[in-house]
Amino acid sequence: MEEVEETRALLAGGAGGAGTAGTAGRPRALPALYDPSHLAHRLVVLLLMCLLGFGSYFCYDTPAALQTQVKRDMQVNTTKFMLLYAWYSWPNVVLCFLGGFLIDRVFGIRWGTIIFSCFVCIGQVIFALGAIVNAFWLMEFGRFVFGIGGESLAVAQNTYAVSWFKGKELNLVFGLQLSMARIGSTVNMNVMGWLYSKIEASLGSAGHTTLGFTLMVGGITCILSLICALALAYLDHRAERILHKEQGKTGEVIKLTDIKDFSLPLWLIFIICVCYYVAVFPFIGLGKVFFIEKFGFSPQKASAVNSVVYIISAPMSPIFGLLVDKTGKNIIWVLCAVATTLMSHMMLAFTMWTPWIAMCLLGLSYSLLACALWPMVAFVVPEHQLGTAYGFMQSIQNLGLAIISIIAGMILDTWGYLFLEVFFVACVYLSLLSVVLLYLVNRVRDGNLNYSARKREEMKLSHTE
């Protein structure tokens, strides 16, 4: 769910083939709100774009928010519970390569967005139905369908942003979309448990039916997103008519044969990425019960501390983005982020210190890593391979998440949280090792990964001269 956003800035800047929003041929002056070229109208579009992703981000983490309830009502162990996350990731191992192609060549951005939104809605409804009829396999299938829509919808969201805001307020728009995604996750984490207890009170008992209805109500956010998709399609079509604006394109070109040309630093970046993210997202998926059991937190407090990573990430991502842009030295920043995450996981594993400290650190380092790691790909890959490199990075990240989710569930059931945390520590440690290796390789090869921002400017100038 997360990785798509990180690429958007680059894809937008590099390969985004958005149509130019020309102003020629405007028939007559429209009121600001109805005028596609006017800021007020674009703000309405921006609002719709932000809400477009809200549903899928809200529903992505419903299993984490309702972990105790899902496991109890469906009578599944943690291994099976984590399959709900694995099934989300499986389709995206392939779809990361296909999403852009489907939007550009097959559906077009408008229909693509509507179709992916439908997948998200239907997926969530199947997920909820599975709970109502007490069939866990149906819930898994629901998450699979949801996964087909979710990640591609994020790509579509980016494409819309580029198409409407390129050359204007694009970075701000990306920032706002990212914050909205985080808000969706946070609201979900803190609301679903409460919603469950309300529905439990009105139905009179807890059970799989209660769980199903709760998930169904959560699915309303997906319907909201679908409505946004329809509205956006209409407005985009209208803008095309009025401004003769082309449909947005992702401009991604995926050539799988490029993979054999990937350099060693790029592979190291992939390893850093996979090893890092598998120690963050599956942990958040399992975090709530950990905070309840180990630190004696109430369910509400556990949800709050579990969502703090997302809360911190919302405001910090743009700030860290600016910081990394201004200073350069990406490898050093990545090193800091990974080392901080390692520290945070070790704190969670080996101390009884309040998890607020560790989770805040995790939130900060996670935001920093996203800002420093993803842009590095652009430094080591020629521009025409950028789409393939990002697609591949997301694909193996999803593969890693799917596999590690299952393994994490199994470890937890058999050996408990301490072992799980030690396992995550080992993953982050591998990531750290790769960062150090990357630093050395870059140093030995005199690579450009760790240039300061000023040096980058100088290099750019000397190239243009």
Partner 1 sequence: MTLPCLPPTESAATCMCGCGEPHWGWGPHAPSSLLLLSLLCTAPLGLLGGETRQVSLEVISGWPGLPQSLLHIRAVGPNSTLHYVWSSLGPPAVVLVATDTPHSVLNVNWSRLLSPKPDGGLRVLPEDSVQFSSALIFTRLLEFDGTNMLDVAAEPLGKPYPPYSLAEFSWNNITDSLDPASLSATFQGHPVNDPSGAFANGSLAFKVQAFSSSGRPAQPPRLLHTADACQLEVALVGASPRGNHSLFGLEVVTVGQRPDCPSRREQHSIDDEYAPAVFQVDQLLWGPLPSGFLQWRPVAFSQKQRSRESALPCQASPLRPSLEYSLPQSPIVQAFFRSQSNFCSFNLTFGAPTGPGYWDQHYLSWSMLLGMGSLPVDALSPLILGIVAVALGAPGLLLLGGGLVLLLRHKQHSEYQSIN
Q: Exactly one of 23, 94, 234, 293 binds partner 1 (CB under 8 A); which one?
A: 293
Name the segment binding partner 1 (CB under 8 A); options: 90-98, 222-230, 289-297, 358-366.
289-297
Q: Exactly one of 443, 454, 455, 460 binds partner 1 (CB under 8 A); which one?
A: 443
Name the segment binding partner 1 (CB under 8 A); options: 83-91, 243-251, 273-281, 346-354.
346-354
- Which C-beta is closer to partner 1: that of 175 or that of 299? 299
Q: Exactly one of 417, 448, 452, 456 binds partner 1 (CB under 8 A); which one?
A: 417
Cα-based distances in Å from 134 to 72, 212, 213, 296: 12, 9, 12, 30
- Which C-beta is closer to partner 1: that of 72 or that of 238? 72
Three-state DSSP at 410 gives helix
* Residue found under tokens 């550009």: 104
Q: Does 426 sit near partner 1 (CB under 8 A)?
A: yes
Q: Does 24 sit near partner 1 (CB under 8 A)?
A: no
- Which C-beta is closer to partner 1: that of 38 or that of 294? 294
Within positions 55 to 94, which residues make up the interface with partner 1, using CB under 8 A? 71-72, 75-78
Q: First CA to last CA across the chain, in angstroms?
A: 41
* Residue found under tokens 């087909």: 148
Name the segment binding partner 1 (CB under 8 A); options: 102-110, 227-235, 326-334, 344-352.
344-352
> Buried (b) or exposed (e) across 422-445, using 16+ Cβ within 10 A?
bbbbebbbbbbebbeebbebbeee
Query: Where is 154: in which H helix or E strand?
Result: helix 136-165
Q: Does 300 sit near partner 1 (CB under 8 A)?
A: no
* Residue found under tokens 């995790």: 362
- Which C-beta is closer to partner 1: that of 112 or that of 287? 287
Spatial separation of the C-alpha atoms in residues 174 and 107, rounded to whole Å: 23
Name the segment binding partner 1 (CB under 8 A); options: 140-148, 152-160, 269-277, 425-433.
425-433
Within positions 193 to 222, which residues make up the interface with partner 1, using CB under 8 A? 206
> Which residues contact residue 142 at a Cβ distance below 8 angstroms, ignoring those fewer than 6 apart?
123, 124, 125, 126, 127, 128, 129, 130
Spatial separation of the C-alpha atoms in residues 215 and 416, rounded to whole Å: 28
Question: How far apart are CB 333 and partner 1 at their closest, in Å?
Answer: 17
Q: Exactly one of 45, 211, 432, 449 binds partner 1 (CB under 8 A); which one?
A: 432
Question: How far apart are CB 393 and partner 1 at their closest, in Å?
Answer: 24
The packing angle between helices 299-306 and 355-373, to 10°, is: 30
CB neighbours of residue 40 within 10 Å: 11
Q: Exactly one of 9, 289, 386, 408 binds partner 1 (CB under 8 A); which one?
A: 289
Question: How far apart are CB 359 and partner 1 at their closest, in Å?
Answer: 17
CB neighbours of residue 167 within 10 Å: 9
Burial (CB count <10 Å: 0-12, 13-18, 19+), residue 137: exposed
Name the segment binding partner 1 (CB under 8 A); options: 49-57, 84-92, 133-141, 351-359.
351-359
Structural tokens at position 161: 């942003």
Q: Exactly one of 360, 433, 452, 456 binds partner 1 (CB under 8 A); which one?
A: 433
- Which C-beta is closer to partner 1: that of 24 or that of 444? 444
Three-state DSSP at 328 gives strand
Within positions 134 to 193, which residues make up the interface with partner 1, using CB under 8 A? none
- Which C-beta is closer to partner 1: that of 271 or that of 289? 289
- Which C-beta is closer to partner 1: that of 169 or that of 413? 413
* Contact predicate 166/287, CB 8 Å: no
Question: How far apart are CB 139 and partner 1 at their closest, in Å?
Answer: 17
* Contact predicate 113/121, CB 8 Å: no
Name the segment binding partner 1 (CB under 8 A); options: 32-40, 52-60, 361-369, 440-448.
440-448
- Which C-beta is closer to partner 1: that of 446 or that of 465? 446
What are residue 76's DSSP bridge partners?
Answer: none
Q: Which of 449, 384, 453 is nearest to 11 (CA)?
A: 384
Q: Exactly one of 20, 416, 453, 454 binds partner 1 (CB under 8 A); which one?
A: 416
CB neighbours of residue 350 within 10 Å: 12
* Contact predicate 19/409, CB 8 Å: no
Contact set with partner 1 (CB under 8 A)? 71-72, 75-78, 206, 289, 293-294, 342, 349-353, 412-419, 422-423, 425-426, 429, 432-433, 436, 439-440, 443-444
